[in-house]
Structure 1
Amino acid sequence: MYTHTIQKWQHEHNFTNHNHQGERRAYYVLILTVITMVIEIAAGTIYGSMALLADGWHMGTHAVAFLITIFAYQYARKHANDESLAFGAGKASVLGGFSSAIALGLVAMIMLGESIHRLMSPQEIQFNEAILVAVLGLSVNIISVFLLKDDHHHHDHDHDDHNMKAAYFHVLADALTSVLAIFALVAGKYWGWNWVDALMGIVGSVIITRWAFGLIKQTSPILLDASIYPEYQEKIINTLEMENDNKVSDVHIWKISADHYAAIISLVANDPKTVDYYKQLLTKFDKISHITIEVNHFTETGQIANERT
């Protein structure tokens, strides 16, 4: 009868760092965003301001992005120990950030197209009313930025929460378009530069596109299981090969969440040590949260044995 326990050799697969405070604040920002969106779209339509209308629709897409943010948090919490997910739900926040980045890019394209149309076909703007609503929108955006700012920067020091980073970029984008809308409306009212209203929509779309592209660059390699940077991998190989006659024959190191890496390493030696011995050599590499090592015994006739853990 088998009486031994295998607990020593079992691995932890929950690599989710749930941001409870971030989830709660995302709810608050969602409510503020939806209310302001309705006001700005209605006011932009009534008063004829493209910058104000663009800001309203922009906030509408951000409301969808915040729903993605909240869903990603809830999914990660619910499936943190789901055995059907090989390495847990650690990438849920990364996927949320990537999806929100796509939403940012769509916002930018919509803004660009509508702004060019308004630049070619100017419309009459009721400046006083539009400025008042734009200031209201900016006030809400500033509140939202401060709600997410502390949490976003705090988690930057501990780990990468791409979901929260995406939400933070969305409220920054809202604040930017509000500032541009106010500038455009003031320029149109006092100097007669009605074309600035459409131009600011174009400028805003370019800046938002840059933010979206930057977030996509950060999240897509994680979703595609990109390898850890070469210098770090080389240090791991050198550490293993410095001992006796070890040779690393195969190595894979990739992110399994926003801030956790997994590694699968195969090595061969004429006089191999135990797996625990090789794991001990790698304890200084604290980026690796989950490691599997295959040890092969090499002779003149080839591989005759291997050990994995």
Structure 2
Amino acid sequence: MLLKALGLNGRPKPSSPGPVPKAFWKLFEKGVNTENPCRVEGLHVPGNIVRYYKDQGPLNMKEVPYESLCVKKHLFFDLSVIERKEQVTLGQLEIKFKHNTYHGHQFQLRVYRPLHMSLKGMRDHNTNRRLLFTQSFRLLHKSLKFNLTQVAQDWTTLGNNMGLVMEIFADGEETDNRITPLCEEMHSFIHASMLTVSLDPTSCKSSRSKRNVESSMPTPSNICKKRRLYIDFKDVGWQNWVIAPRGYMANYCHGECPYPLTEMLRGTNHAVIQTLVHSVEPENTPLPCCAPTKLSPISMLYYDNNDNVVLRHYEDMVVDECGCK
């Protein structure tokens, strides 16, 4: 039940988890903006779930090269983990080149979206695909990023995810129908990934009242108040899939709500009346319960059931204040 509340269909068991991108660590370290927890400030878009997907497309698309084609690759990112209730607010494709071998030589990158499933062995013609981006570049140790928000929205709402086709050309390179050593070396240096941000409105609170100052008055130990409770994810067997934090201060509420309720106990109107009735008929009416009156969110960085890296903000995870209800 708890894992389902966290948006998981079972306890993740990472088999081949990849490294956590630096951008995710930066977003995690920023924490949750308690004034607006439904916005990813580092990416400047609404959302409370950030996911990272590794490319699952084939390593190489077998095809006779044409013009100055160096690389042709089918990119595929499985976005099926995004639930229908989520609203995709950002989709970002990143093409990273791990090596800076080709000083001074210019290349051109083109990204296409397939419109139809082509027959095996047939070259994709312009009628079967749509050009999304084209960009020239020289420095291969740099990353190229492209906004694919609309494409990601279509993949998740229409269910027509046929991936992408990436082509890289060596500008001015004479190939004579063969791949040059310059192009052949490029294959092992390319890494493609995708990042999505989505908003789950069911677990997002758009506004949050400012924290009340705790009363400095001393209280008896049996009076309703916040108690310290640290949750270590290792103790509950989550250390294999939760990346960060390793645990957090969850706290809990405990204590009595005696008559008369003082302002310090933050009793609801119903609780005030209930304590009054209890003072008259203690056998028939119990005292109000000590319960959280203010909670705050935390961020969790973890691997999901598909080994994707996920950064998610979870509401109502930390007890900040307690009162009688």
Give the TM-score normalised by structure 2: 0.28
Please identify which structure carries the higher strand content: 2
Q: Which has the higher contact order (CA 8 A, sep 6+)?
A: 2
